């Protein structure tokens, strides 16, 4: 007769969930980060799972992880059940009088500093049973392990958004300014057309739409220029610091540079051209029902971003 695994003291379900995360990520370290445990603990869990099931699940080497036949069978049968298990747990949690549980956020550094830090702190004070796990990053994210992601993009009129299965909610939009330090312009000259930028050192973020393709408009005519591949950084505040240090020409949002332009630390370039806009969007996967902790936080965040943005505008 087979062993009754669920009656044992081993957290068998947690270990199977982590095992599936390892195969999906292809790495113990990445799986551990998404599951919120240490890589050492995760490795021990898989080893204990193999001992409990009396079968090897993963063949390990220094270069890769490969599922055994037994491991592949477990992964193929159990992985499709995960969404249903999560939905059931979330439906049960929604019956609680107080919001509780964990919310996972992925945010660009600039939005985290300007808005998210304050909003999360306020929400934790309002709902002590809600916990947050925040990842500061600008690139791709896994929507299965992240509840809400906040990403910046540079867009222009007539541009079509790429198709996505995720819900996309526009939170902020502000103009982008092309600017450089007076010292840099004194040494390299002032570019007066988009084409002239190809001769300059340019600072850019590839995670912004287009990356090194900058868009400008004048008299209804669009001009998109591919800048020289000089320096790439996906942190807008670091790009600002580099521009202030005369490293090159930067393409940055109004809220980040307007004071420096007013004080003369930076000079706006090609102000007769209309630049693209700098957008902050919130992304999340459609879930029915959405956990109340997430639904409540989403409503609160949208309201507070609008209020804080109005406050910023009034203070300028």
DSSP 210-253: TTTEEEEEETTEEEEEE----EE-S-HHHHHHHHHTT--EEEEE
Distance CA 142, CA 163 (A): 16
CB 249 within 8 A of CB 197: yes
Look up residue 271 and give its DSSP letter.
T
Q: Which residue has the tokens 């603990």?
A: 41
Helix (H/G/I), strand (E/B), else coil: 98: coil
Residue-wise pLDDT tens digits, 187-246:
999 999 888 988 899 988 776 645 677 888 888 788 888 887 678 777 888 999 999 999
Is there a contact between 285 and 148 (Cβ–Cβ < 8 Å)? no
DSSP 71: H
* Residue whose C-alpha is closest to residue 130's, from 283, 294, 286, 302: 294
**pLDDT grade, residue 1 (50/70/90)?**
very low
Lowest-pLDDT choice from 60-69, 155-164, 275-284: 155-164
Report yes or no: 295 and 101 within 8 Å, Cβ to Cβ: no
How many Cα atoms sit within 13 Å of 114 on the Cβ side? 24
Cα angle: 99, vertex 38, 142; to 5 degrees: 60
Helical segments of 36-80, H only: 39-53, 69-78
Q: Which residues contact 87 (CB under 8 A, 6 or more apart)?
A: 287, 289
- Single pTM value for the model: 0.67
Weakest mean pLDDT among 68-82, 115-129, 155-169: 155-169
Q: Does the pLDDT at position 85 exceed 70?
A: yes
The rounded distance, in Å, linking the Cα atoms of 220 and 217 is 6
Measured distance CA(175)–CA(172) in Å, rounded = 10
Residue 315 has pLDDT above 90, yes or no: no
Domains of the chain by range and CATH? 12-96 (1.10.10.10), 101-315 (3.40.190.290)
pLDDT score at 217: 84
Separation of alpha carbons 167 and 284, rounded Å:
5
Residue 180 makes CB contacts below 8 A (sequence gap 6+) with 243, 246, 248, 249, 250, 266, 267, 269
Q: What is the pLDDT of residue 139?
A: 79
Tokens of 77: 């049968």
Specify the pLDDT at position 277: 84
In the predicted model, is pLDDT for residue 96 greater than 70?
A: no
């Amino acid at each position: 007769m087979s062993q009754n695994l669920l009656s044992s003291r081993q957290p068998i379900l947690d270990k199977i969930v982590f095992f599936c995360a390892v195969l999906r990520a292809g790495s113990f370290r990445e799986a551990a980060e998404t599951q919120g445990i240490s890589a050492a603990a995760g490795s021990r869990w898989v080893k204990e799972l193999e001992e409990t099931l009396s079968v090897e699940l993963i063949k390990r080497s220094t270069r890769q992880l490969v599922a055994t036949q037994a491991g592949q069978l477990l992964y193929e049968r159990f992985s499709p059940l995960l969404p249903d298990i999560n939905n059931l747990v979330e439906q049960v949690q929604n019956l609680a009088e107080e919001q509780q549980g964990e919310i996972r956020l992925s945010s660009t550094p600039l939005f985290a500093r300007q808005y998210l830090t304050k909003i999360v702190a306020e929400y934790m004070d309002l709902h002590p049973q809600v916990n947050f796990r925040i990842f500061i990053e600008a690139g791709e994210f896994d929507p299965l392990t992240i509840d809400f992601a906040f990403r910046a993009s540079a867009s222009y009129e007539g541009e079509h958004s790429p198709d996505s299965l995720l819900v996309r909610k526009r939170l902020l939009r502000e103009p982008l300014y092309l600017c450089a330090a007076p010292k840099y312009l004194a040494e390299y000259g002032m570019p007066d057309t988009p084409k002239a930028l190809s001769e300059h050192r340019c600072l850019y973020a590839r995670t912004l739409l287009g990356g090194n393709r900058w868009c400008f408009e004048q008299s209804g005519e669009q001009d998109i220029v591919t800048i020289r591949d000089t320096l790439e950084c996906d942190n807008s505040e670091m790009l600002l610091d580099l521009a202030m240090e005369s490293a090159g020409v930067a393409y940055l949002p109004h809220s980040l540079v307007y004071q420096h332009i007013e004080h003369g630390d930076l000079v706006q370039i090609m102000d007769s051209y209309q630049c693209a806009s700098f957008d902050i969007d919130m992304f999340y996967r459609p879930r029915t029902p959405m956990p109340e902790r997430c639904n409540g936080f989403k409503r609160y965040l949208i309201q507070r971003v609008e209020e804080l943005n109005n406050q910023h505008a009034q203070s300028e």
